Amino acid sequence: MESIKNKIDQLRKKILKYEYFYHKLDQPIVSDAEYDYLLSQLYSLELKNKQFITSDSPTQRIGSNLIDKFKKSVHFFPMLSLDNAFNLKGYLEFETRIKKLVSNSVVNYCCELKIDGIAVSLIYERGILTRASTRGDGYVGENITKNVYTIKSIPLILKGSKIPDRLEVRGEVFMLKSDFKSLNQTNKSNKEKFFSNPRNAAAGSLRQIDSKVTAARNLMFFAHGYGFFKGMEFIKTHYDRLMKLLEWGIPVNKNIFITSSYLEIFNFYKKFEKKRFFIDFDIDGIVIKVNSIELQKKIGFNAKHPRWAIAFKFSSKEIITRLNKVKFQVGRTGIITPVAYFDPIYISGVKIRKASLYNKNEIEKFQLCINDFVIVRRCGDVIPKIIRIIKNKSDNNSKKIIFPLFCPICGSKLLEDEKEKIVRCNSGLLCTAQKEKSLHHFFSKNALFINGLGPKIISKLIKKNLVNSPIDFFYLKKDDLKKIDKIGDKKSTKIISTIDQSRNTSLRNFIYALGIFSVGERIAEKLSERYESMDALIHSTLIELENIDGIGKIIAFNIFNYFSISKNRVLVIKLLKEIRFSVNRTKQKKYKKKFFIGKKIVLTGKFVSFSRSEIKNILIEFGAKILNKVSKSTDLLIYGENFGSKFFQARQLKIHMINEEELKIFLI
Ligand code: IVH
């Protein structure tokens, strides 16, 4: 119970902090999506634990903290907020609730864009704008009439006929994205305030003591509702009422449509989810409202929301947060990767607290400092990436991030590839970080999998000096494993038995396990198709490797380089004594056959093991074309003893050439 109360308290504290940044400082530190997510968590916790609900909980209030510089303005009707749906399921739940409340009759819905701006209320007395206020806490807002007078798209006097004596229009004040960009540019050159998004710029512009500043900011307005509509009761739908506002000169966004089909609503949502990036103002979802005023009245409100409307929100993909630290990680191959850690954020409901900064270049490009604000996006909706930095000049603790000169793990001097901006620790297995990661990789799922041998155990085995290289695992005894805490008799027996099972492997998995730089699973597969034994791979030539389909010059060089280091060859040979391969000859045959398909081949010289016609027939059977003359379009020259001029022509034209011995590898 105590821990639930703690959880509730923590959530409340967080939410209040975010509200403070948002409302008081116009400087949100989390996205709406994260705020909504936390609030919904608090809601459900409080719902299950009603004894912990307090009157000051954020769930018991409608809105914000007011700022002190404007006069208070009491709303005639509370300005509520909207309930949210984040997916189709959530939306359909809303429809089901409505259906129940109206006894399953067909309901028409009015769909609109959800403008990401500042909610305001405008009071017109006999057609003249007399008061404008912000929403504030939903009951009391700020009187911003003087500033609203300067917004060109809000009429001071309504036009047309049959205007009610008193009319309250509700809607959003917002700033165009293009205006926001140029405002920030101007502010940057004048060393003035930077706004993190158009909504904040609009809020900042609206809450100016000096209305000349507001006037210069080109704010816009769209109406989406009304409070008083006295004398207009005969207009019986929300849509018709909005059209009436339009007639009187009040701007209403034209993307509205009426439907009773949830599929059409979902299509509208999908359409604007894509289109929103090409519209010059921010929208953060769509709003769906029961169109009939009579039904709206029947359905009613709860304490915070009308029950007849819902916001179907787009998932937010970019969020601003504060950078706390940068750690320098040493990868399996010694590459140093800076990783940024920030205040946790939620994107599409997923908690994120770090993002890779890739390389030294990225830090230099961003001129990154601790306590800067960073804008994070989930690329392809998966991998978090910092896309922009907002310098935090006001923070005295701001510290420039400096790329280390020495390995943070083993302390050896780091080497930098100037061209690729890659910084590397070259200590290999002498560096604990690389050792741990290499060993973990060697025994990972698609390598020589040892079930139950995670990074923690590996790290402990290294610390106890029981293993230093993959080969050491095959010599481990039960008693060695039992020296590690939390490993008893049962677990050590199990690990020893899985180590034994890992001895049965495939060539592909073994090649992958070696962790040769740039040889992932796909390349390992190709190598295992091309070579029938590890021995053949160890002795492969650079040309041979380069000619494997899908292996370029760089990867070929990395493979060749790996096997030219004697320490690596010794390790592989020792390992080969401990393991057994399940051979997959059909795969190799398939590869060999594939290699010749469509290739234009020329033969020259005398062959010892085959007659010329034998070779010709086999190659033709494998799909090759045998030609007599060398030309630019020749793919391969096969040369035997006493070769003739074709050999020199092919060499000049840089055509791939193999001799009889190499040909045998393909044919046998
Ligand atoms: S209807 C009871 N329609 O979204 C509130 N609101 O998150 C009825 N908003 O406070 C509001 N576009 O300021 C409505 N087309 C739209 C809207 C819209 C933006 C804002 C509004 C509201 C907030 C709720």
Q: State in Å: Cα 66 to ligand 1 middle.
A: 19
* Category of 393 on φ-ψ map: left (φ > 0), alpha (ψ -120 to 50) or beta: alpha
pLDDT at 592: 63
Cβ(119) – ligand 1 distance below 6 Å: yes
Contact 174, 198 (CB under 8 A): yes
- The per-residue DSSP string of 442-483 comes to HTSTTSS--TT--HHHHHHHHHTTS-SSHHHHTT--HHHHTT
Ligand 1 centroid distance, CA of 114 (Å): 6
- 371 is written with which tokens? 């306590």
User: For position 656, what pLDDT does the model report?
Assistant: 87
- Among the listed residues 5, 89, 114, 445, the single catalytic one is 114
Query: Going by CA atoms, what residue is nearest to atom 17 of ligand 1?
Result: 114
| Minimum-distance ligand 1 atom for the alpha carbon of 112 | 15
Provide DSSP, 40-83: HHHHHHHHH-GGG--TTSGGG--S-PPPTTS-EEE-SS------
DSSP 360-421: HHHHHHHT-EET-EEEEEEETTTEEEEEEEE--TT-TT-EE----SB-TTT-PBPEEETTTT
Alpha carbon of 302 to ligand 1 centroid (Å): 16
- Terminal-to-terminal C-alpha distance of the chain: 73
- Determine if ligand 1 sits within 6 Å of the CB of residue 62: no
CA of 223 relative to ligand 1 center, distance in Å: 10
Contact 59, 42 (CB under 8 A): yes
Question: Ligand 1 centre and the CA of 117: distance in Å?
Answer: 9
Structural domains in the chain, sorted by start = 2-60 (1.10.287.610), 72-313 (3.30.470.30), 318-400 (2.40.50.140), 428-502 (1.10.150.20), 507-581 (1.10.150.20), 587-667 (3.40.50.10190)
- Distance, in Å, from the CA atom of 96 to the CA atom of 84, rounded to the nearest integer, reads 15
This model's pTM is above 0.85? no
407 labelled as ligand-binding?
A: yes
Determine if ligand 1 sits within 6 Å of the CB of residue 136.
Answer: no
Nearest-angstrom CA–CA distance, 496 and 475: 10
144 Cβ inside 6 Å of ligand 1: no
Rounded-to-integer distance, Cα 662 and Cα 668, Å: 10
Any ligand 1 atom below 6 A from CB of 372: no
Instruction: Determine the Cα–Cα distance for residues 366 and 43; give it in Å rounded to an integer.
Output: 39
pLDDT of residue 346: 74
* 587 carries an active-site annotation: no
436, 485, 532 from 509: Cα distances, Å: 19, 30, 14
Mean pLDDT per 10-residue section of the chain, whose length is 668 residues: 82 81 69 70 79 77 51 87 89 94 90 96 92 90 92 93 91 95 88 82 89 90 89 89 96 97 95 89 95 94 90 80 93 93 78 88 85 79 78 76 93 84 85 94 91 89 93 94 90 91 92 91 90 90 88 89 88 93 60 76 88 82 87 90 87 86 73
Residue nearest ligand 1's atom 5 by CA: 81
Residue 582, annotated as binding a ligand: no
The ligand 1 atom at the shortest distance from the C-alpha of residue 80 is 2
Ligand 1 mutation pick, 94, 111, 114, 254, max ligand atoms within 8 A of CB: 114
Handedness of CA 515, 521, 527, 529 (dihedral sign): positive
Question: Could you give the C-alpha distances from 576 to 535, 573, 621, 636, in angstroms and in order?
Answer: 10, 5, 35, 34
SS3 282: coil
Task: Give the whole-angstrom CA distance, residue 611 versus residue 443.
Answer: 47
